[in-house]
Amino acid sequence: MIGITGIGTYLPEGRISNFDRLEKFDTDEDFIRNKIGILEVAVKADDEDTSDLAVKAYRDLESKNDIDKSKIEVLIVVTQNPDTNIPHTSAIVHGKLDFPESCAAFDISLGCSGFVYGLSIIKSFMESNGFTNGVLLTSDPYSKIINLDDKNTSFLFGDGATATLMTDNPVYNIGKFTFGTIGKEGHNLQCDDSVLSMNGRSIFNFAARYVPGDVKNLLQKNEWEADNIDKVIFHQGSKYILDTLVKRTRLPQEKAINDILHYGNTVSSSIPMILAKVMDDEENKCVLISGFGVGLSWSSNLLFRNKK
Amino acid sequence: MATTIEKLREILALTSNDLAFEVNETESLHDQGVDSLDLMDFYLNIEDEYGIQIPDSDVDSLHTLQDFVTYVNGKL
């Protein structure tokens, strides 16, 4: 069975401080620190594009795992801010990394739920084709579409990328998934003319209402008890939504990870960015991951450490 | 049985515990220190408690605790 073998990450060096904008947005440090929970957002360099962030995440993956590039059979990039419309960003990454011609490469257009959906897609693609080596990349630099004068969005989103190695000798096996979409509410998180707009209240309500029920469904589907989860990684929208979800799902606060203080919400990279650290601890035998947002869509999964 | 105002204060206390029983009924909640995120939670909890929907178009008219009392009573 195909599962997660390793994860590489990349965060650009650039940062925009939210404290530098308190006066502009008529807010205070307490709100930034204790409600938004993001002190600064990561921002890519002007000469970095979506594919470049993905390549750097792959290089980190390579540095931590023994990878024979010639054996990679599939490369998927999750992004909604590609380098360009045509060709797809995964093809550009394929070229930059000089992957084998036999390797399949395609993009998935999803946002904050993208990593979890992506896991299902790459696992299914690999298993149905008898593949044993694949890479799932997430790279969705929202700095391309954020209006820095928009308080609703500019405090939140940061740039980053991840690369997840999928093989038949995994660290984490992948459990059963849940999925969902409310397309008629998609306009609440939308990009028009390259500018993102977000109805914060609608997105908050959506997450607060749907994620707790989804977590319950996930546990039932996997026949698993909440007490036997070691770590919970929700999509890192903001501290406020994370705290709200912990309360509403009744999962133990100490098991839910919040890691966005110094880089922000990296969209589809937010879950794997944390999972990369979580998987280093062998005590983390079962990890719940839950992505939700753009679409509006959601997907959750339980990861189970492989007994070796 | 709690009055609507008492119930709304209890609901407000779920997120703004230190302010819920101190806020003046006729002054803007935001001006009294209830921030935008706690207001979002307040709307959500009111919806859950009363089984009503507060559309975005109505939110702009809800500033004071008294506004919420009038609104909720009108919906019930």
Model confidence pLDDT, tens digit, residues A42-73: 999 999 999 999 999 999 999 999 999 999 99
Q: E strands along chain A, which residues?
A: 3-10, 14-17, 40-43, 74-78, 104-108, 133-139, 161-167, 172-174, 178-181, 189-192, 195-198, 231-234, 286-293, 297-305
The structure's pTM equals 0.93
Specify which residues A16 forms β-bridges with: A41
In angstroms, the separation between the Cα of residue B20 and the nearest Cα of chain A is 18
Asked if the Cβ–Cβ distance from A204 to B56 is below 8 Å, we say: no
A176 near A221, Cβ under 8 Å? yes
- Please enumerate residues of B whose Cβ is less than 8 A from a Cβ of A: 35-37, 40-41, 43-44, 56, 59
A236 near A242, Cβ under 8 Å? yes
Asked if the Cβ–Cβ distance from B59 to A201 is below 8 Å, we say: yes
Among candidates A265, A141, A162, which has minimal Cα distance to A207? A265
Among candidates A64, A95, A89, which has minimal Cα distance to A76? A89
Counting beta carbons within 10 angstroms of the beta carbon of residue B19, is it exposed (0 to 12), middle (13 to 18) or buried (19 or more)? middle
Candidates A152, A201, A244, A248: best to mutate against B (most CBs of B within 10 A) is: A201
d(CA A135, CA A130): 15
- Name the A residues in 243-262 with CB < 8 Å from any B CB: 244
Asked if the Cβ–Cβ distance from B41 to A244 is below 8 Å, we say: yes
Asked if the Cβ–Cβ distance from A202 to B37 is below 8 Å, we say: no
pLDDT string in tens for chain A (308-residue length): 999 999 999 999 999 999 999 988 888 899 999 999 999 999 999 999 999 999 999 999 999 999 999 999 999 999 999 999 999 999 999 999 999 999 999 999 999 999 999 999 999 999 999 999 999 999 999 999 999 999 889 999 999 999 999 999 999 999 999 999 999 999 999 999 999 999 999 999 999 999 999 999 999 999 999 999 999 999 999 999 999 999 899 899 999 999 999 999 999 999 999 999 999 999 999 999 999 999 999 999 999 999 86
If you count residue pairs, one on A and one on B, with CB atoms under 8 Å apart, how many are there?
A: 24
Model confidence pLDDT, tens digit, residues B14-62: 888 788 788 899 999 989 989 888 898 899 999 999 999 998 889 889 9
